[in-house]
Copies of this chain bind each other. A is one copy, B any other.
């Protein structure tokens, strides 16, 4: 696989490599004619500049690294879509790694990306990540860094999140206004800020309105559908009185809960209302359609990428980090 280089072009044209380099990068000091001829020859030889060499030389690449827990989840996939679009427009490419929710793999992903000398990093932390020193090392190294969705509070870096607390709060208000009184919550690991904030927002709303959340109806599990099935099972197993409404930390969890309730023949929303968080595209296709809080996933991706690219370009690494908080939207359907 012999690749055409600038040198090949130079030789064939009888000029020096610097002339070719300049011609191809639009340097003003090159005569119109030489440039035309060089461009033509480059096309003819199917020349593609070697970005590796260029990056090595300039000590900076046009690649942004992304670390997400799982690409296949709709939420992250949409974010990736936003990141990829913004990157493309700005002349960047994206290198993607998934941590599969594993701390060690997250660290090793970052190492790999660093070795590729990415210009900056976009990170959403794994559920199993309990320490932030690997992130702080990045800061020290001066690598531009933006967290999105699952952020790490101990690290002084820009973040892009939705207003989880507010979204959950409004979910709580809505349920109380709808007449529900006995609330449960299917939550995620408290270490994750999104889980903590959604829990707190909901808890504060319902307790402020006189219907405090009962501890035994707060179930903590994972963030996916199977976890929802599981958490709902644990809730039902308690026997005795049941909540008349549960707020779930994510849509997949809510859908899992719905599956479990259907198995038990418990009517939704009549005997138990269910609310989710995210607004997956399937949310309005299931039965009953899911009442939820919409997060603008694609926008999160765009915003995070924009922020990162801005930091890369301005080298504004020392400026006070921005924290973007995107608005959520209450989507009322049938399940609550």
Contacts and interface: CB of A to CB of B under 8 A. Distances in A.
A97 B59 CA distance: 23
A116 B259 contact: no
B285 A114 contact: no
Nearest to A252: B281
Interface stretch (A32-40, A78-86, A239-247): A78-86
Interface residues of A, number: 60
Contact of A77 (B46, B77, B141): B77
B77 A71 contact: yes
B77 A93 contact: no
A98 B85 contact: yes
Contacts of A225: 281
B55 A1 contact: no
Most B-side CB within 10 Å, residue of A71, A78, A111: A71
A266 interface: no
Contacts of A111: 48
Interface string A133-149: 00001001111000000
Nearest to A280: B282
Given A1-B143, A46-B137, A84 B96 contact: yes
Interface string A63-85: 10000001111101110110011
B97 A96 contact: no
Contacts of A78: 72
Nearest to A55: B52
Instruction: Report, nearest first, the 4 A-B pairs whose CB atoms are least far apart.
Output: A287-B287, A282-B282, A1-B142, A77-B77
Interface of A: 1-3, 46, 48-53, 55-56, 59, 61, 63, 70-74, 76-78, 80-81, 84-85, 88, 93-98, 100, 105, 109, 111-117, 137, 140-143, 225, 255, 258-259, 280-282, 285-287, 298
8 contacts: A3-B117, A3-B141, A51-B117, A74-B77, A77-B77, A93-B97, A282-B282, A282-B285
